[in-house]
Structure 1
């Protein structure tokens, strides 16, 4: 097959591993920056044409691919999803569709969809622009977690221990027009969470992430450590169901163990491979390529 990965940083561990796995399966993979595309809608065929411009070179008309694998960050969500929709218009399967990617990237929308489907999540609130922030905060438990609606790798996640500081932070984010939600702080988790890596309808790997040095976020990019973890059947089923509800083929589902049972913190449409592959010793990249082969055959 001829595969295309959409990623701004081809030298990232995840990109290099996926390219290596593709080549080991005798597939060709290109890695292109979604922000270097020009998309066109035209009356005459092809209706969904696209041009790519490498750095310092002339643009060229892009040829077709068998499967698209999106790996772009939150800063490229708008252009990346427009590009996925263009490929979908050309009947090219994407390993995470544009609509599923958008649902996962909007933290509030994804939590709404999960809760509607009966998936337990931490108590969460979204305050409208004209709602008094102080009155909104009076309905929240302290300490509380503030999360921007887009963000990854722990960026945009803030622990506010006092109501006054929470109000101040929210007012600043509101002034900067950064939508933010409030979420219960699960103290009993003691700075740990679970990352479940879902491919297709299976949890193929899992790890427990552990925060370090007083940092409440357990993300790898925030200095967190990881260890192998044995998930319960309930946790596996919850991760798979959350992935299906958002319509994803590949996902990193973050769970937290609370006094009322496991809760879904969020679902990542472009989960990193480095920490979980090294912790679990599972070749996740090859299983993603196998999933790409499956959707190519079924399309």
Structure 2
């Protein structure tokens, strides 16, 4: 199947990558209307071909997409993640957690039900009792479902790129509700590592454990310090960019990412 690509369309590539390429004297030619794939060229030189945001190895990207795997790797490395129980898909042909284990896990705690894969908070629900949580888990069509004890605290998204924090935003500064921007939260944007050093350190450590060159980490600051909720291997910033100051903020992030990608491609 072929697509007629409209350069003026509101895809991620047309909205963010093309203007960024122009600012550094290059050009962007899209060739995928769905995934924002394209070519970045400078004169006759092909600088980059593919998705600008898919710059991780396939192995690292797979680790991040599989939430159960990434949280297990981080936990083994001594990095704080939510307490959780994995409800496997019947296709795994493995035993389900015993009911006694689930009761002990949920006793006295709110439980977050989260698909093992997926993005943008789709399918993530909060439950005050085990039965409600299990119903949601059984209704999920994902390959597996995570039951996590809820952690309360301010929540943020942090963007990491090859050894440094390049920006992010606080989703919420209080202890109530979920911080996904799709729920109407207003982000507090920042650039660079303008955040507490403990959060910057746990972000960098998590990226190194998972082998990620570029990632967006969802973090909540609980009573014991920052907790890694999940890693995103190809995070975008469309939702945050529509808020006050978001246009300049997203342009700076995209310029930083694109420049780093092109620098790597020239080595």
TM-score, normalization: structure 1? 0.69
In 2, Cα distance between the equivalents of 1:137 and 1:242? 28
Q: Given the alignment, which residue of 92, 95, 102 partners 1:137?
A: 102
In 1, Cα distance between the equivalents of 2:215 and 2:206? 9
Corresponding position of 1:30? 29
Q: Given the alignment, which residue of 175, 194, 198 partners 1:234?
A: 198
How far 1:196 sits from its partner (Å)? 0.8
Corresponding position of 1:58? none
Corresponding position of 2:80? 120
Q: Given the alignment, which residue of 201, 204, 227 partners 2:163?
A: 201
Report if aligned partners of 1:146, 1:183 keep a CA contact under 8 Å in 2: yes
How far 1:15 sits from its partner (Å)? 5.1
How far 1:120 sits from its partner (Å)? 1.3
RMSD across aligned C-alpha pairs, in angstroms? Answer: 3.1
How far 1:235 sits from its partner (Å)? 0.7
Report if aligned partners of 1:125, 1:183 keep a CA contact under 8 Å in 2: yes
Corresponding position of 2:41? none
| Aligned CA distance change for structure 1 residues 127 and 233 (closer, same or farther; 3 Å) | same
Indicate yes or no: 2:210 matched with 1:246.
yes
Corresponding position of 2:113? 146
How many equivalent residue pairs? 237
Indicate yes or no: 2:181 matched with 1:220.
yes
Report if aligned partners of 2:115, 2:142 keep a CA contact under 8 Å in 1: no
Relative CO higher for 1 or 2, CA cutoff 8 Å, sep ≥ 6?
A: 2
How far 1:137 sits from its partner (Å)? 2.1
Runs of 4+ in 1 over 6 A off after TM superposition: none
SS of the residue corresponding to residue 147 of structure 1 reads strand
How far 1:148 sits from its partner (Å)? 0.3
Alignment of 1:41-56 (within 5 A): none
In structure 1, list runs of 5 or more residues that go unmatched.
Answer: 1-9, 37-51, 53-63, 73-93
Corresponding position of 1:210? 172
In structure 2, list runs of 5 or more residues that go unmatched.
Answer: 1-8, 38-44
In 1, Cα distance between the equivalents of 2:72 and 2:46? 34
How far 1:35 sits from its partner (Å)? 7.8
Q: Given the alignment, which residue of 122, 126, 142 partners 1:159?
A: 126
